[in-house]
Structure 1
């Protein structure tokens, strides 16, 4: 549940579509905080790419 809540918070400042993808990804793959950190880095990469 904590992971889902974290991603809902992220959704407030990010593209909704990306968050849906990341939420689905997290439900399948996230098991540790390290993986959550990787997900954050992945999201930052996507946002950086989008802003160009």
Structure 2
């Protein structure tokens, strides 16, 4: 995983694309799991409630 992050950091592709193209990572996780890990819906699911709490109802 780190080698793919370093490649992306140096401008060689995106982290996700590098992971998907890496036989070691793709072989262990598979494309569906990699896609799930990059799905922002899980990370952002509470944003509306947080904004309402911080700013009040819209």
**Is the helix fraction higher in 1 or 2?**
1
User: Shorter-chain-normalised TM-score: which range?
Assistant: 0.3 to 0.5
Structure number with higher relative contact order (C-alpha < 8 Å, ≥ 6 residues apart): 1
